[in-house]
Amino acid sequence: MPSSRPPSPEVEPRSPEVERLLARRRFITRAAAGTVLTALGGGLYRIVEDLLCGEALAQTRGDGRLRVPPGQRVLERLKPMGGEEGDPSTASFGLRVHGDVEEPFSLDWTGLLAMPQTTLKSDVHCVTGWSVLDAEWSGVTLRALADRARPSRSARHVIFEGAHGYTANVPLREALGPTVMVAHRLGGKPLAATHGAPVRGVVPDLYFWKSAKWLTGIRFVARDAPGYWERRGYHNHGDPWREERYG
């Protein structure tokens, strides 16, 4: 979840020569594993290779979209991105699944781990312009929580509720997608406090502010309710491939 101050897009300084050469690539990866020196017009210019991307720039997803959305650069690991931290203790953890459902329920930490567990790899795209490929999340899919809660036929949206009143809204049809989950592990390790421990939402196909940290509730609603950042000028939907950054 972003900090209380709206993030500023990060701009990488590039020489005019390099910018012209890489204009169609749209970004340079600063965290790449190596560099090359290339002779251009009689001079040597240092170009950071996007080794972390591999062939991702040319890859397409099953839906036909490029794997890396426009305006994104690839990093090796997630940035914390701030936010007012919640309680990271599993002993005090509680998750409410409620709202426009037939069977509302609550889970403590033991109850969450008793739910069917899933491990998935998904790409993450932050509105500030970075992406992480193949982040490995473990937890409970939102579909599994919804199957237990049985949303009413009138439910159209899901509100992710985080600590200190933070919320993020997602259309129901997207929230029930196969990669959306309540995650408690990242890369095989428990979530760090800065990444939303003990659990966070993960909504890979929308900008990462939709993936609420320090998650306390999943609320199904009939009417859309713009969340924390949506009320502060960010786009209500947040599709990275359409660059839906601001409203």
Other C-beta atoms closer than 10 Å to the C-beta of 124 total 22
Cis amide linkage into residue 6, ω under 30° from 0:
no
CA 216/CA 162 separation, integer angstroms = 5
> Among positive and negative, which fits the CA dihedral 185, 188, 191, 195?
negative
pLDDT computed for residue 99 by the predictor:
98
Please give the class, per CATH, of domain 95-242.
alpha beta
CA 49/CA 35 separation, integer angstroms = 6
Those residues with Cβ within 8 angstroms of residue 202's Cβ, 6 or more apart along the chain or in another chain: 122, 137, 139, 179, 180, 181, 182, 183, 211
pLDDT computed for residue 54 by the predictor:
55
pLDDT computed for residue 35 by the predictor:
36
Amino acid at 22: L
Q: What is the 3-state secondary structure (H, E, C) of 31-44?
A: CCCCEEEEEECCEE
Note whether 172 and 157 are within 8 A (CB): yes
Other C-beta atoms closer than 10 Å to the C-beta of 230 total 20
pLDDT computed for residue 2 by the predictor:
52
Amino acid at 9: P
Each domain of the chain, given as residue ranges in start order, spans 16-70, 95-242
C-alpha of 143 from chain center: 17
Largest CA distance in the chain: 71
**Considering only CA atoms, which of 163, 148, 179, 170 is closest in space to residue 227?**
170
Tell me the pLDDT of the chain (247 aa) as tens digits. 554 444 433 333 443 433 443 443 443 333 333 333 334 443 332 333 355 455 666 788 888 899 999 999 999 999 988 889 999 999 999 999 999 999 999 999 999 999 999 999 999 999 999 999 999 999 999 999 999 999 999 999 999 999 999 999 999 999 999 999 999 999 999 999 999 999 999 999 999 999 999 999 999 999 999 999 999 999 999 999 999 999 8
**Cα dist. 200→11, 49, 161 in Å?**
28, 32, 10
Tokens of 29: 């990866």
CA 214/CA 30 separation, integer angstroms = 29
Strand pairing report for 215-221 and 95-99: parallel
pLDDT computed for residue 24 by the predictor:
39
Does the pTM exceed 0.75?
yes
